[in-house]
C-alpha cells in the first residue's frame, strides 16, 4: 500500500485524500493550523462551470487601478517592496491578452465540468452531505454600461458549450419571486450549482477520519530531507514523517515550501471576506454575483452568505472592515427589501485564495523530484475545482491516466 503525505488541509488536500483513499492508499494530512480554518470554509459555495475566463484578461489591470482608488472597492493590492509580488504582477500583465484568454477557456471549462460531474456523483453516494443545489447562477448588472461585458461573456460561454441566457430585469425578477431585485438585467447560467462549504469541509473531515486517514493539525512543515531525487522525510515543527509520495497543497503558503523542492511558484494570496445574513421572509433562491460590486449572494444554511473582494496582500490575514463595508453596501443596491445587519468584525470570515498570475491552477508532478506533486493556485475557484483536483492528483500518484490533459497546469511552467 502506497503511503501519501498531503501537506495542507484545505479543500484540495481533503479531496486529494478522499480520492487516494478510494484508490487504496495510506494517507496522512499535515495541516499547519486547524482543519476548520482554511480558505474554503467561508467560501461563497458556488460551483461555476460558467467561470471560464481567467482573471488575467484584457482591461483587468486598468480596471484594478481604478478600483484601488476606493477603500471599499472589490480589488486592492497592498503596496510593498517585494520581488515575488513584482514578478507575479509582471506575469499577470504578460498574460492579460486575448490570446491567453482563448488558450485558457477550454482548460478552465474542462476542469470545471469534470468537477461538477464529480460533485453530482458525490451527492448521490451519500458519503456525507454538503447541501448540493442545482439552481444555476445569476450575473446581475445595474448599469447599462455593464450589459456589453456580460453579453460578451455569455457569447463566449455559449461558444464554449456552456448554456447562458441573457435576461431583462423583469426576467431576472421572475426567477426570484420572494425578493425584489433592482437590476437592469442579468445573465443566467442554468448549469451552475452551489453547496454549503462549512458542511462540505466537516463532512469530508469526518469521512476521512472514519476511513483511517490521519489528520494531524498544528504540523507546520519547515522543510524536506532528500535522498537522491526523492523526498525521504517531511520535516515539521513537531518531528519528521516518511512517505512514499508527498502532495503540496498549502494554498497561499505554497511558494515558500515549493522553494524547498527547487520550484519557483509565482502565486499571491487574494484575500476575500464573507459573512452570513438573515434575509427574513425575502428569500433568495438563485445564487448571484452582483457585477458592479463584484460581490456574491448565496442561499446557504437557512441564511445567505455574502462574499467578495480580492485583496492581494501576501499572507496577511488581518480583516479590513472597509472592504467588508463595500460588500455590505452592495446588498441593498441589488436587493432593496433585504435588511441585513452590518456584521461585527468577529463574525466576518476571511481567507486567502491562492492566485496564479495566469489564472490557471498548478496541478502536476515536480520535475526533478521523483515523489512530489503540487495542487494549488486555484484562485477564487478552489471549492468549485476541489473534486477534480483531488481526482487528478490521485490519478497521477497511482499511475492512472488522468481524466483530462493537465499539461497546461504544470507547476513549473514559469521556470
> Where do the structural domains in the chain lie, given as residue ranges?
3-40+199-261+358-409, 47-103+129-193+268-355
Instruction: Scan for cell 442579468, then name that residue.
Output: 186
* Collapsed DSSP state (helix, strand, coil) of residue 115: helix
pLDDT grade, residue 302 (50/70/90)? confident
Angle between helices 197-210 and 11-22 (to 10 degrees): 40
- 41-50, 162-171, 268-277, 321-330, range with greatest mean pLDDT: 162-171
Report, as an integer, the average pLDDT of 47-61: 84
pTM of the shown model: 0.94
Phi, psi torsion values for 129, nearest 5 degrees: -90, 150
pLDDT at 72 over 80: no
The reported pLDDT for the residue numbered 77 is 74
Indicate the fold that domain 3-40+199-261+358-409 takes in CATH: FAD/NAD(P)-binding domain (3.50.50)
pLDDT at 68 over 80: no
pLDDT grade, residue 393 (50/70/90)? very high
Which one is predicted more confidently, 66 or 147? 147
| Burial of residue 1, with CB atoms counted within 10 A of its CB: 0-12 exposed, 13-18 middle, 19 or more buried | exposed
The reported pLDDT for the residue numbered 37 is 65
Cα–Cα dist 150/186, whole Å: 8
- Name the nearest CA neighbour of 350 among 255, 280, 258, 252: 252
Q: Using an 8 Å Cβ cutoff, are 343 and 329 in contact?
A: no
The reported pLDDT for the residue numbered 415 is 83
- Please list, in sequence order, all residues whose beta carbon lies within 8 angstroms of the beta carbon of residue 50, skipping any fewer than 6 positions away: 137, 139, 157, 162, 164, 189, 191, 192
User: 160-208, pLDDT tens digit by residue?
Assistant: 999 999 999 999 999 999 999 999 999 999 999 999 999 999 999 999 9
Cα–Cα dist 201/128, whole Å: 10
Q: Using an 8 Å Cβ cutoff, are 76 and 68 in contact?
A: yes
The reported pLDDT for the residue numbered 109 is 97
**Cα-based distances in Å from 247 to 234, 242, 376, 413:** 11, 13, 10, 18
Report, as an integer, the average pLDDT of 37-52: 84
The reported pLDDT for the residue numbered 333 is 96
- 60-64, 146-150, 245-249, range with greatest mean pLDDT: 245-249
pLDDT grade, residue 98 (50/70/90)? very high
Beta strand 362-365 with 372-376 is antiparallel
User: 342-370, pLDDT tens digit by residue?
Assistant: 999 999 999 999 999 999 999 999 999 99
Q: What b-and-e string marks burial along 69-88, b requiring 16 or more CB atoms within 10 Å of the CB?
A: eeebbbbbbeeeeeeebeeb
Torsion angle in degrees (nearest 10) through CA of 93, 95, 96, 101:
-170
CA 50 and chain centroid, separation: 14
Following DSSP, what letter does each residue of 165-208 receive, concatenated? EEEEHHHHHHT-TTS----SEEEEETT-EE--HHHHHHHHHHHH
Q: Using an 8 Å Cβ cutoff, are 263 and 224 in contact?
A: no
pLDDT over 90 percentage in the chain: 82
What would the CATH number be for the domain defined by 47-103+129-193+268-355? 3.30.9.10
The reported pLDDT for the residue numbered 42 is 82
CA 305 and chain centroid, separation: 16
pLDDT at 59 over 90: no
pLDDT at 67 over 60: no
The reported pLDDT for the residue numbered 331 is 96
Mean pLDDT of the chain: 92
Reported residue count of the chain is 415
Cα–Cα dist 62/202, whole Å: 40
Do 3-40+199-261+358-409 and 47-103+129-193+268-355 have matching folds?
A: no
126: region left, alpha or beta (phi > 0 left; psi from -120 to 50 alpha): left
Report, as an integer, the average pLDDT of 87-104: 93
User: 16-42, pLDDT tens digit by residue?
Assistant: 999 999 999 999 999 998 887 665 668
The helix/strand count (H/E) of the chain reads as 10, 20
The reported pLDDT for the residue numbered 180 is 97
The reported pLDDT for the residue numbered 315 is 84
Cα–Cα dist 124/38, whole Å: 26
pLDDT at 379 over 90: yes
pLDDT at 4 over 80: yes
**Cα-based distances in Å from 255 to 260, 267, 317, 360:** 9, 7, 17, 16
The reported pLDDT for the residue numbered 57 is 78
Report, as an integer, the average pLDDT of 117-134: 95
Q: Using an 8 Å Cβ cutoff, are 246 and 231 in contact?
A: yes
pLDDT at 261 over 70: yes
Amino acid at each position: 500500500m502506497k503511503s501519501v503525505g498531503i501537506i495542507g488541509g484545505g479543500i484540495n488536500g481533503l479531496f486529494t485524500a478522499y480520492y487516494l483513499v478510494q484508490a487504496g492508499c495510506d494517507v496522512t494530512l499535515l495541516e499547519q493550523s486547524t482543519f476548520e480554518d482554511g480558505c474554503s470554509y467561508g467560501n461563497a459555495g458556488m460551483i461555476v462551470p460558467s467561470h471560464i475566463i481567467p482573471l488575467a484578461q484584457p482591461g483587468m489591470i486598468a480596471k484594478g487601478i481604478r478600483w484601488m482608488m476606493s477603500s471599499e472597492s472589490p480589488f486592492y493590492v497592498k503596496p510593498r517592496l517585494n520581488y515575488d509580488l513584482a514578478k507575479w504582477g509582471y506575469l499577470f500583465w504578460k498574460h492579460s491578452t486575448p490570446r491567453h484568454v482563448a488558450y485558457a477557456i477550454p482548460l478552465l471549462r474542462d476542469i470545471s465540468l469534470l468537477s461538477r460531474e464529480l460533485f453530482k456523483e458525490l451527492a448521490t453516494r451519500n458519503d456525507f452531505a454538503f447541501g448540493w443545489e442545482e439552481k444555476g447562477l445569476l450575473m446581475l448588472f445595474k448599469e447599462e454600461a455593464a450589459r456589453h461585458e456580460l453579453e460578451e461573456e455569455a457569447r463566449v460561454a455559449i461558444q464554449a458549450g456552456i448554456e447562458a441566457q441573457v435576461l431583462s430585469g423583469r426576467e431576472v425578477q421572475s426567477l426570484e419571486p420572494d425578493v425584489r431585485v433592482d437590476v437592469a438585467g442579468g445573465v443566467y447560467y442554468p448549469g451552475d450549482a452551489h453547496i454549503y462549504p462549512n458542511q462540505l469541509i466537516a463532512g469530508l473531515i469526518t469521512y476521512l477520519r472514519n476511513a483511517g486517514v490521519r489528520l494531524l493539525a498544528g504540523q507546520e512543515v519547515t522543510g524536506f530531507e532528500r535522498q537522491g531525487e526523492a523526498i525521504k522525510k517531511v520535516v515539521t515543527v513537531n518531528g519528521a514523517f516518511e512517505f512514499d509520495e508527498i502532495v503540496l497543497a498549502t494554498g497561499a503558503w505554497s511558494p515558500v515550501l515549493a522553494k524547498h523542492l527547487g520550484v519557483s511558484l509565482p502565486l499571491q494570496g487574494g484575500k476575500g471576506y464573507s459573512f452570513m445574513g438573515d434575509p427574513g421572509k425575502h428569500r433568495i433562491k438563485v445564487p448571484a454575483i452582483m457585477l458592479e460590486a463584484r460581490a456574491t449572494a448565496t442561499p446557504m444554511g437557512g441564511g445567505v452568505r455574502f462574499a467578495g473582494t480580492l485583496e492581494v496582500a501576501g499572507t496577511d490575514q488581518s480583516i479590513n472592515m472597509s472592504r467588508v463595508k463595500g460588500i455590505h453596501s452592495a446588498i441593498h443596491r441589488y436587493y432593496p427589501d433585504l435588511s441585513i445587519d452590518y456584521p461585527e468584525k468577529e463574525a466576518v470570515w476571511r481567507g486567502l485564495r491562492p492566485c496564479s498570475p495566469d489564472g490557471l491552477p498548478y496541478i502536476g508532478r515536480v520535475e526533478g523530484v521523483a515523489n512530489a506533486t503540487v495542487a494549488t493556485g486555484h484562485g477564487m475557484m478552489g471549492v468549485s475545482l476541489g473534486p477534480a483536483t483531488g481526482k487528478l492528483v490521485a490519478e497521477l500518484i497511482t499511475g492512472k491516466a488522468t481524466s483530462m490533459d493537465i499539461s497546461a497546469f504544470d507547476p513549473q511552467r514559469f521556470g
